[in-house]
Amino acid sequence: MILDNLSSALTVFVIQTQLNMHYLNIILLIIYGSYIITSIFPFLLIFGIWPRRLYGLPGIFFAPLLHINFNHVFFNSIPLVVLSDFILLNGLDYFLTVTLAITIISGFLIWCFAKPGIHIGASALITGYWGLLVCNIYQQGTLMAVFLGIICIYYFAGIFFGVFPSKKGVSWEGHLFGLLSGIMASTQWP
């Protein structure tokens, strides 16, 4: 019985991932398109989050699209696409809702509490996705939620360690507030 359920869950996962390819390609197009634009016009990076500055508020929405260099965008795009695919298994409306919630909540917390300086990149969103998927093990309790949560823990556990201060120039606050936002989103939209 359990093997049949697992087999059917994996079949759904594969079919849904194939259907999600259109959305995942759009996500990549947006992220890399934004990177190319900011490479040509680097002054646009000022649209990141500037904590406790009124001119930093629009950064709540723009920061996930802004990356300082190719390594930054490349290493953010891999977990972004994989975790987006996992969340899209619950449908496009769910994906858009939790993406907006994680972006706004984490961005606002960064704006309120992060250290001074510009905060850019999709790391808060990625960490939020990770927190959501791991918490959904408990919140949803379905075989699919457990399967996805275990994959997240096993392959992307390093995301969790980003919530601790480590390297200069890395917004650990973004990772922390992203994680908290993902946990909140999981409780609101299980």
Look at residue 159 in the predicted model and tell me its pLDDT: 87
What's the CATH code, domain 2-188?
1.20.1540.10
Please write the tens of the pLDDT for every residue from 150-176. 999 999 988 888 788 877 778 899 999
Look at residue 2 in the predicted model and tell me its pLDDT: 74
Q: With bands split at pLDDT 50, 70 and 90, how would you rate the model's confidence at 190?
A: confident
C-alpha distances in angstroms, 155 versus 58, 177, 180? Answer: 33, 21, 20
Please write the tens of the pLDDT for every residue from 43-66. 999 999 999 999 999 999 999 999
DSSP code at position 160: H
- If you count them, how many residues does the chain have? 190
Look at residue 106 in the predicted model and tell me its pLDDT: 98
Look at residue 161 in the predicted model and tell me its pLDDT: 84
Spans of all domains in the chain = 2-188
- Residue matched to tokens 């994989």: 82
Interval 82-106 mean pLDDT: 97
Both tokens of 27, joined, read 């996500």
Look at residue 6 in the predicted model and tell me its pLDDT: 75
Give the whole-angstrom CA distance, residue 154 versus residue 174.
Answer: 22
Please write the tens of the pLDDT for every residue from 104-149. 999 999 999 999 999 999 999 999 999 999 999 999 988 889 989 9
Residue pair 114/52 in contact (Cβ under 8 Å)? The answer is: no
Look at residue 160 in the predicted model and tell me its pLDDT: 84
Look at residue 164 in the predicted model and tell me its pLDDT: 81
Question: What crossing angle do the helices spanning 2-40 and 70-88 adopt, rounded to 10°?
Answer: 150
